[in-house]
Amino acid sequence: MSARGAGTFIRVPIIVNPPHRGGPPDMTLPLAYGRGPEDERRGGTFSPAGGGPLTVSQLTALIRGALVDHLPATLMVMGELSNVSRPASGHLYFTLKDSGSEARCVMWRSAAAGMRFRPVDGLAVIATGGVDVYEPRGQVQFYVRKLEPRGVGALELAFRQLREKLQKEGLFDPGRKRSLPRFPRQIAVVTSPTGAVLRDIIQTVRRRYPCVTLLVHPTRVQGDGAAEEIAAAIGAINRNSQRLGGIDVMIVGRGGGSLEDLWPFNEEAVARAIFASDIPIVSAVGHETDVSIADLVADVRAPTPTAAAELVVPLRADLLADLDERAARLRRAAGHRIEALTARLARAASNELFRDPLAWIGRRSQRVDEAAARLRAAVMHRLAGERARLHRAEVRLNRNRPEAVLARRRERLGAMAHRLFWAQGHVNVLSERRLSAAWMGLLAASPSKRIRAHGVLLEQLRGRLGRAQTEQRARGIAALAALAARLEAADPKRVLARGFSITRSRGRIVTHPAQAPAGEKVTTQTAGGEFDSRVLERGQGELFE
């Protein structure tokens, strides 16, 4: 803050003009804060006319009045959208923020309805509106009347958003696009009745293929409400196609213009109407460089309306030339066919059957008689073979009479009974022998005998275990005594008691004269205690002083 005369001001950065190529100008506006001299504001108390403290509503009204009185009615603020929400009321609520701060914003439904693009979180925008206080909450809000994207126009952003949405839904899928009929009978045209587009289409169709019928559905092609009219026209033509005698193809388009002029063909309503059409649609919007949503959804895109007329109808001269060529090919094919049939008839007329039919029939009758004789001989031969087979079967049947078969079966059964009786006796003898051996083995393995034998063995093992434990304990005691003697012999105190000492320099044990230079203070530990000394020259006979 800075003092200016009798009042204090806060410099608030705002944008008063649309952003230029180099970015928005950095302009400031002095905002009056408080009233009276600085010492009065700091030391005095503001009270309403009747005296006493302020109510919350009065405080909010006071803040609102200060903002309204000292801020311009229109501000332009740039920032990034966050927390965007649009409830059923149609109003738009969002937060406008930058790296240092954020502000709550409201855009009423009447203003939000005119936006071409869809506001989303993270989108950089320029908001135009005014600051006011929402008194029920005492909240300062920026009321936006106009919202534009930064870096790209609103129409261009809306075009990109709608194209991405419809592409995800499959409206641009090449697999669903239909081919145009080669010889249409009726063509519907959806365009303005007063533009040059309709005249170009009519002239092109009359010049190329005058036998087709053109049905024109006049509609607006630019301005508010034009998209709804175009979509309604496409739907009406589809519904009334049968009543009109059948529509083979439809042309939807207009001439060139700015992006705003062509915008009805970038509306979602038109795109969905084209997608739902049962009639193939050719889109002819603007010039060759103009690409609209309608072009992407339509079955065929034409660079211009004239090119659309050329795409939907063939050229009459080409058709006549094609018919002439086909007629010539048909005449040549018919001539070749007649010549072939004439030659075939001549060959048939020269055949023997047509010259002497009775002789031909007589030869065929003789062949039939010869075939009948061969057939009778074959039948007699077959009958003789069957008789021989029957005789052999009768002989086998006599040999296998039931009485003979039964006798052979009785003989085989007696032999088998004898072998079975002998085998049963042999098995009984073997079973008795195995049973006797098992009994003897069971007696030898009596539990009482085995218990007595294992008891003796257990006593022997118990004695051996006691002797082994005694010997192991004696060896352990001897080993422990030897280790204690070695440990006691290695005790540093006993070594010091024998006249040895330990010299340390700077906390480290000295093991070589090089570790204690001349003049170094060292500590010597003996059995009786420690004393300090200083090193003389290492070359002298005496080491310490």
Q: Does domain 2-151 have CATH number 3.30.70.100?
A: no
For the four alpha carbons of 242, 244, 250 and 252, in that order, the dihedral sign comes to: negative
CB of 130 closer than 8 Å to CB of 71: yes
What are the pLDDT digits (tens) for 407-429? 778 888 888 888 888 888 888 88
Dig out the tokens for 83 from the structure: 């927390």
Q: Where in the chain is the domain with CATH 2.40.50.140?
A: 2-151
Q: Strand pairing of 281-285 and 249-254? A: parallel
pLDDT at position 14 = 30
In tens digits, what is the pLDDT along the chain, a chain of 545 residues?
333 333 322 223 333 333 333 343 333 333 333 344 443 444 445 555 555 687 777 777 778 777 777 777 788 887 888 888 888 888 888 888 877 788 889 998 888 887 777 787 767 788 888 888 887 887 888 888 888 777 555 666 777 777 788 878 888 788 888 888 888 989 999 988 887 888 888 888 888 888 888 888 898 888 888 889 899 999 999 998 888 888 899 999 888 777 777 788 888 888 888 888 889 999 888 777 777 888 888 888 888 888 888 888 888 777 788 888 888 899 889 988 998 888 888 877 777 667 677 777 877 888 888 898 899 899 999 999 898 988 888 888 877 777 777 877 888 888 888 888 888 888 888 888 888 888 777 777 777 777 877 888 888 888 888 888 888 888 889 888 888 888 877 777 777 777 788 888 887 888 888 778 888 888 888 878 888 888 887 554 444 44
Residue whose tokens read 């839904």: 169
The secondary structure of 200-230, three-state, reads HHHHHHHHHCCCCEEEEEECCCCCCCHHHHH
pLDDT at position 232 = 92
Q: Which fold has domain 173-314?
A: Rossmann fold (3.40.50)
Burial of residue 214 (number of CB atoms within 10 Å: 0-12, 13-18, 19+): middle
What are the angstrom distances between the C-alpha of 305 and each of 121, 203, 247, 285? 40, 11, 19, 7
What are the angstrom distances between the C-alpha of 60 and each of 46, 72, 129? 14, 19, 21
pLDDT at position 330 = 92
- Using DSSP, state whether 181 is helix, strand or coil: coil
Q: Strand pairing of 281-285 and 300-301? A: parallel
pTM for the full predicted model: 0.41
CB of 7 closer than 8 Å to CB of 32: yes
What are the pLDDT digits (tens) for 48-89? 555 568 777 777 777 877 777 777 778 888 788 888 888 888
Q: Where in the chain is the domain with CATH 3.40.50.2300?
A: 173-314
Round to whole Å and give the CA distance between 126 and 519: 83
Q: Strand pairing of 92-97 and 75-85? A: antiparallel
